[in-house]
Amino acid sequence: MKKKAVITGIGVVSPLGIGHQDFWNNLVSGNSAIAPMECLDLSKYECKNGAEVKGLNPEEYLGRKGLRYLNKGTKFLGSGAKLAVDDANLEIDEELSNHTGIIIGSSLGNFSQTTDYFHDIVRDGPSDLSPMQSYDVALNSSINYVSVFFKMKGFARTISSGFTSGTDAIGNAIKLIQNGKAKVIITGGVEQISLDLYMIFYLRKMLAGSDGAGSEISMPFDKRRNGFIMSEGSYVFVMEDYDHALSRGARIYGEISGYGSLFTGSRNSDIGKRVEKAVNTMKSCIDDAGICTDDIDLISANGNSGKLSDLIEAKAINKLFGESGTEIPVHSVKSTLGESYGASGAAQTASALLSINNGLVPPTINCEEKDPECSLNIVNKKLEKEINTVLINSFDLSGNNSCLVVKKYE
C-alpha cells in the first residue's frame, strides 16, 4: 500500500494577494491582477501589461537579518514557505528536520540576478564586486535559503522544466512521500518577473499583444485570444505523509493522488500529434491516481490564452473525455492571475485545493466570445459546486506536458 501525500499548509505570494485567503477571495471574485507593469521600463516595447506581486513585506515572515542580500525570488519563496508552514501549524524541530525536504519548481530560478551580476562585471570590471553581491545569485539559491531558514536536513532540490516546473516539483514530492524518503516536503513553485523573462517571451512573440493587434488581456479559450500575460509569485505547500499529518492532528486540505508527465513532441510536431501527447499525459495521470475520467469534477486548465496551446488543450480534453468533454467544468486561473511560468502549476494546485474546501470554482474571465473550436464548458462565472477531484493541466509547447490529480481528503 502506497503512502498518501496530503497537503496541510498553503502559502501564497501572488499578484492576487499575499496569503491564501486574499488570493482566493480575489480569484473567486474574478478580480484581475493584470495592469501595466511598474517594475520594468517597457517604454520601447508594445506589450506592457503583466501581473505583479504588490504589497509583500518579507520582513514580516523572514525577519530583518540578511534581508538586504536577498533578491525578489528568494523573498517570494521564503515568505511563501513561512506562510505555508505557519498555515500547517507545523514546527520543524530537530527530529523532524531530518525527515523534511524541499522540492521547488522554477523555470528560471534566479537567472536574472545572475545576468545582472554579469552585466556589472562587463560594465564595471570584476574587481570591484564584493562577494556579497553574488550571495543570492545562484539559480537555486532561493531553495537553499529556505532549507537554511528552516534548518532542514532531508534534501533540497530545484526542478526546472519550463512551464511545468511547479507541477513536476509537486509530482516528484508525491513520489518521495510515497516511497518514504520524507515525512514532510515543502513543495511548489516560484517565478519572478524580470527583464530577462520579458525578453525571452517578447522575442518569441508569446505575450498578449505581441502581434500588434488586439487587447493586452488574458482571454483563455476566447476566439480573440492572442498570447499570455506574464505573472509571478510563489505557491508553496506543506506536503505530509498522511500518517504523520494524522498523528499530529493536522488540518488536511486534500490529497495529491496522481501525477503524469510526457514530452510534448518536437517543435515540428503537427497539432494531431500534440493533442495525442496531451491526451496520453492526462490519461497517465488519471491512471496514476487509480481513478477514471468520470471521477473528475473539474479541470484546472493550462489555458493561458495562447492561440495554439488553448486549441490543443481543448481538443485533447474533448478526445479523452468523449461526450462528457463538453460538459465537465473547465476553468483557468490565468484569466485573472496571468501566466506565472514555472510557478503556474503550483498556483493551479492552490486554487484546486481551495475549490475542494470551499465548494466554489473561480471564474474564467474575458471568455466572452468562445472559440467554436474549443468546445468546452468554460466556467465564466463563479460556480458553486461540490468538488471532490480536480485534474490540473500544465502544458509547455516546447517541453513537458504534466498533470496532477488533487482529491478531497477522505
Site for another protein in 156-215 (CB under 8 A): 156-162, 165, 168, 172, 175-176, 179, 181, 195-196, 199-200, 203-204
Q: Give how far the C-alpha of residue 212 lies from the chain's centroid of Cα atoms, to the nearest Å.
A: 28
Output the smallest distance, CB 106 to another protein, in A. 8
Q: Which one of the spans 5-13, 208-216, 264-272, 306-314 is the region binding another protein (CB under 8 A)?
A: 264-272
CA 239/CA 289 separation, integer angstroms: 17
Output the smallest distance, CB 227 to another protein, in A. 15
Q: Which one of the spans 15-23, 57-65, 258-266, 321-329 is the region binding another protein (CB under 8 A)?
A: 258-266
* Residue 123 touches another protein, criterion: CB under 8 A: yes
Q: Within 10 A of 25 (CB to CB), how many other CB atoms are there?
A: 12
Our CA angle for 368, 373, 374, nearest 5°, is 60
Helix (H) or strand (E) holding 391: strand 389-395
Residue 292 CB partners (closer than 8 Å, separation 6+) = 286
The letter for the amino acid at 134 is: S
Output the smallest distance, CB 355 to another protein, in A. 27
The letter for the amino acid at 136 is: D
Q: Give how far the C-alpha of residue 242 lies from the chain's centroid of Cα atoms, to the nearest Å.
A: 23
Output the smallest distance, CB 56 to another protein, in A. 21
* Residue 324 touches another protein, criterion: CB under 8 A: no
* Residue 43 touches another protein, criterion: CB under 8 A: no
Q: Which of 281, 328, 282, 306 is nearest to 221 (CA)?
A: 306
* Residue 279 touches another protein, criterion: CB under 8 A: no
φ/ψ region of 55 (left if φ > 0, alpha if ψ in -120 to 50, else beta) reads left
* Residue 106 touches another protein, criterion: CB under 8 A: yes
Q: Which one of the spans 137-145, 214-222, 294-302, 347-355 is the region binding another protein (CB under 8 A)?
A: 137-145
Output the smallest distance, CB 200 to another protein, in A. 4
Burial class (CB in 10 A: 0-12, 13-18, 19+), 401: buried
3-class DSSP assignment, residue 345: helix
CA 32/CA 14 separation, integer angstroms: 12
Nearer to another protein, 139 or 383 (CB): 139
Output the smallest distance, CB 366 to another protein, in A. 27
Our CA angle for 221, 223, 224, nearest 5°, is 110
Nearer to another protein, 106 or 351 (CB): 106
String of contacts with another protein for each residue 373-402, x by CB under 8 A: -----------------------x-xxx-x
* Residue 39 touches another protein, criterion: CB under 8 A: no
Residue choice 261, 302, 305, 355 for contact with another protein (CB under 8 A) = 261
* Residue 137 touches another protein, criterion: CB under 8 A: yes
Nearer to another protein, 165 or 226 (CB): 165
Q: Which one of the spans 9-17, 144-152, 248-256, 354-362 is the region binding another protein (CB under 8 A)?
A: 144-152
Q: Which of 407, 394, 175, 393 is nearest to 291 (CA)?
A: 407
* Residue 73 touches another protein, criterion: CB under 8 A: no
Q: Which of 165, 167, 148 is nearest to 100 (CA)?
A: 148
Helix (H) or strand (E) holding 238: strand 233-241
Q: Which one of the spans 6-14, 145-153, 309-317, 332-340 is the region binding another protein (CB under 8 A)?
A: 145-153
Output the smallest distance, CB 6 to another protein, in A. 20
Q: Decide if 238 contacts 186 (C-beta within 8 A).
A: yes
Nearer to another protein, 252 or 320 (CB): 320
